[in-house]
Copies of this chain bind each other. A is one copy, B any other.
Amino acid sequence: MTGKRTLAETEFDVQYMKKYGSLMAQGNGYLGMRAANEEAYTEQTRGLYIAGIYNKAGAGEASDLVNLPDLAGMRIKIDGTVFSLLDGEICYYRRQLDLSGGELRRQILWKNREGARFHLLFQRFVSKADLHVLASKVTITSLDKDAEVEVASGIDAQQTNFGRQHLAERAVRVFDEEVMMGSYETGESGHRIAAAAIFRCDKRAVRSFTAKNRQLLQTVKLKIEDGKPYEFEKISALYTSLDRDLEGQEPEEACVLKGREAAKAGYKALFAASSAEWQAFWQRKQVKIASRDPFDQFALDFALYHLEIMAPSHDERFSVGAKGLTGEGYKGHVFWDSEIFILPFHLFTEPETARKLLRYRYLKLEGAKGKAAQNGYEGALFPWESAFSGREETPEFAAINIRTGERQRVASPLAEHHIAADIAYATVQYYEATTDEAFMKKEGLALLKETARFWISRATDEGGRLSLKDVIGPDEYTEHVDNNAFTNHMAHYNVKQALRFMAQFGEEEEAFKRRAEDFLDRLYLPEADREGLIPQDDTFLSLPEIDLAKYKEHQGSQGILLDYSRKEVNDMQILKQADVVMLLYLFPDLVPPETALRNLEYYEYRTIHDSSLSKAIHAIVAVRCGQAESAYRFFQEACEIDLGPDPNSSDEGLHSAALGALWLVTVFGFANIRAGGGVLSLAPKLPEQWTELAFPLVYRGRRLELVLSHEKLSFTKLSGPSMRISVSGEEFLLEDRLEITTVQLEGK
């Protein structure tokens, strides 16, 4: 499925429809559109989403990222037959998403049942030049005869989130027998959404409009001549009441105005403007990998394309959902994935976006304080799943318990508290990479202090030692444990950093300081035992084990939950992802490399990797332990999470964190960069298969370009003052350009 920055599907296969619907999704951070085909198929899920537009479909329901009225669907009739690839014969088929320019193209040579051939070219994009605009173009050529073509499309509000309705229709209108406009409102969250759609087509076409059953449709009919391409364009615009660029207009006015303006420009001009923005993006941010396997480069391009379209860099009131804007998995909610897996890419390429992602958490501090208070804690406990409100949004129930037949409650919001420390960690990481004092003094400090307060109040005194009891670490197959290694170390770091920055900014509160220091003194920090193992929690190492081979074969499917109840899984040494490996990733100096390796091996053996967050982190820790070969294997397997052959891997959207983690493996793993402590340091360990790795990096006001190979490392500073760089423990001064051979390094 690869190509030169092109994701292609060369065979029509309904089995892969939902997957490609996610993989080939388009967007611009403001809106996201799944790559559902224009024509209808039962196996595909249409989806159009706008960042921040959530709604609860009813009391007791969790907020959904609202599936908006569809603008991409088209019903095409050729000589009276509804066009479908399940009918007639497909003589040629190719669908491709061009990552460089953001266009989705589908080219089909189709023979109807009567044997007449038609060439169809579908093109569409979501504008990167204007957040509110999307456009489609269809070119139909009849190859054997004159034909009657009918295209019906418009604004289709029959879409739901798996049967959950979020939008009430406020009005549908047609202006000047041309502009279709639909206005909708979410029930509970009270957002207004307005869409306009305009057809551009042959003047001779006969047009008619219908409005029925939540669909506003325009139908155009035309007799097309044998061999003469018939072009049809549909230009659409969307605004919501949340938009900050409404300039005093109502969303309804704004979308009609924008739609008219865009339709005047037409597909070609609109696409040129959008494509130029994509060129600039690749110019500034691409990671270049010279690998024996071109898939590595492709996977990184794919990851970066999606990291870009999922980031709401236009507005700090939103963050990145676990599936971005590519599907309804996890209801579009924001997890710790945003800070730990996705934020670093932005931090080191466009720090302003990272700042906004942290501002999102800052703006939701009230909700986090509320959650802490409700649970009897001080400070701020961020919700496990967050949306627009800032309140806890985790759904109440997960899967059916196979023994009792009852739905199982989701435990994460009750105990998966590490999210508070994850946000604190990202806050410090942001400061280290930017030295943004203004942010740190206000937002950063507030985040650190309130989360630190939470941890202090969360601890339990057990004979003088402080424990964090009844928590869930990142490994969700081990619920309700005491002293989870990841959680305890992160909480410790969180409180320590709060003290550090309070001191730095002269905001010391004596009472808090005393409590914090006591917490740091007395909190139990799980350390490597005699066998060199850091216990994941107080009981894990004593639990029984089973053979996981069967489940590891189908990793990512959570197939074990079809054989065992959650409770049963909980009581064995079975990991979804390895907390200790995660801990070693975030704290590379916690243990010596040989201890890290011991833990990596022990825990990986017991890990199914049912979490998409797992593989890439294992890759990074493996690199650092000198296991370049297994690191590369982990990396490639991580690339396959969405891009692999499993037809259902990505049905409900892409794995945003896993995509962010590919960048992490490259930069924090193989390039082995560290940005803490005031000096940018690196100790590259490229896999044998790679001859060169090049990437840009923004660090403390400098824009750098790094080119690393097995023979030499070269650094170019494109802007900003000179700086020190530590390479494999050796410090260098980077003025404008610096080249170091590995021989040189080994020599030292």
Please report A residues at the B interface, Cβ cutoff 8 Å. 14-15, 40-43, 57-61, 82, 84, 86-87, 157-160, 162-165, 168, 171-177, 187, 208-216, 397, 399-400, 402, 405-407, 562
B168 touches A162 (CB 8 A): no
Q: Which residues of B contact A42 (CB under 8 A)?
A: 40-42
Q: Which residues of B contact A216 (CB under 8 A)?
A: 400
Nearest CB of chain B from residue A293's CB, rounded to whole Å:
29
Nearest CB of chain B from residue A256's CB, rounded to whole Å:
11
| A400: nearest chain-B partner, CB-CB | B211
Residue in B59, B157, B211 whose beta carbon sits within 8 Å of that of A168 in the complex: B59
B162 touches A165 (CB 8 A): no
Q: A210 to B14, alpha carbons, bound, how many Å?
A: 22
Q: Answer whether A405 and B163 are a contact pair too, CB < 8 Å, given A86-B87, A168-B60.
A: no
Q: Which residues of B contact A213 (CB under 8 A)?
A: 162-163
| A179: nearest chain-B partner, CB-CB | B405
Residue in B58, B165, B210, B211 whose beta carbon sits within 8 Å of that of A163 in the complex: B165
Q: Which residues of B contact A400 (CB under 8 A)?
A: 172, 174, 209-211, 216
Pairs across A and B, CB under 8 Å, 16 listed:
A14-B82, A40-B43, A57-B168, A58-B187, A84-B86, A86-B87, A158-B160, A160-B160, A160-B165, A162-B213, A163-B213, A165-B165, A177-B405, A209-B402, A211-B399, A212-B399
| A168: nearest chain-B partner, CB-CB | B58
Q: A402 to B406, alpha carbons, bound, how many Å?
A: 53
Nearest CB of chain B from residue A683's CB, rounded to whole Å:
45
Q: A61 to B41, alpha carbons, bound, how many Å?
A: 29
Q: A183 to B335, alpha carbons, bound, how many Å?
A: 31
- Mostly, the A contact residues are loop
B405 touches A208 (CB 8 A): no
Residue in B61, B157, B162, B173 whose beta carbon sits within 8 Å of that of A406 in the complex: B173
Q: A179 to B499, alpha carbons, bound, how many Å?
A: 57
For this chain, the copies found in one complex come to 2
Q: A61 to B187, alpha carbons, bound, how many Å?
A: 13
Q: Which residues of B contact A176 (CB under 8 A)?
A: 405
Q: Which residues of B contact A82 (CB under 8 A)?
A: 14-15, 43
Question: What 20 new A-B contacts, CB under 8 Å, besides A42-B42, A43-B82, A157-B163?
Answer: A14-B82, A15-B82, A40-B43, A41-B42, A58-B187, A158-B160, A158-B162, A158-B163, A159-B163, A162-B215, A163-B165, A164-B214, A171-B407, A172-B400, A173-B405, A175-B405, A177-B402, A210-B399, A211-B400, A211-B407
| A212: nearest chain-B partner, CB-CB | B399
Q: A433 to B82, alpha carbons, bound, how many Å?
A: 51
Q: Which residues of B contact A164 (CB under 8 A)?
A: 165, 214
Q: A42 to B84, alpha carbons, bound, how many Å?
A: 10
Nearest CB of chain B from residue A309's CB, rounded to whole Å:
24
Q: A212 to B652, alpha carbons, bound, how many Å?
A: 12
| A86: nearest chain-B partner, CB-CB | B86
Nearest CB of chain B from residue A57's CB, rounded to whole Å:
6
Q: Answer whether A402 and B208 are a contact pair too, CB < 8 Å, given A40-B42, A168-B59.
A: yes
Q: A549 to B177, alpha carbons, bound, how many Å?
A: 27
Q: Which residues of B contact A399 (CB under 8 A)?
A: 210-212
Q: A530 to B84, alpha carbons, bound, how many Å?
A: 60
Q: A187 to B15, alpha carbons, bound, how many Å?
A: 36
Q: Which residues of B contact A177 (CB under 8 A)?
A: 402, 405
B208 touches A562 (CB 8 A): yes
Nearest CB of chain B from residue A226's CB, rounded to whole Å:
25
The 7 closest A-B pairs by CB, nearest first: A174-B405, A165-B165, A158-B163, A162-B213, A86-B86, A40-B42, A58-B168
Residue in B43, B158, B162 whose beta carbon sits within 8 Å of that of A214 in the complex: B162
Q: A43 to B59, alpha carbons, bound, how many Å?
A: 33
Q: Which residues of B contact A214 (CB under 8 A)?
A: 162-164
Q: Which residues of B contact A15 (CB under 8 A)?
A: 82
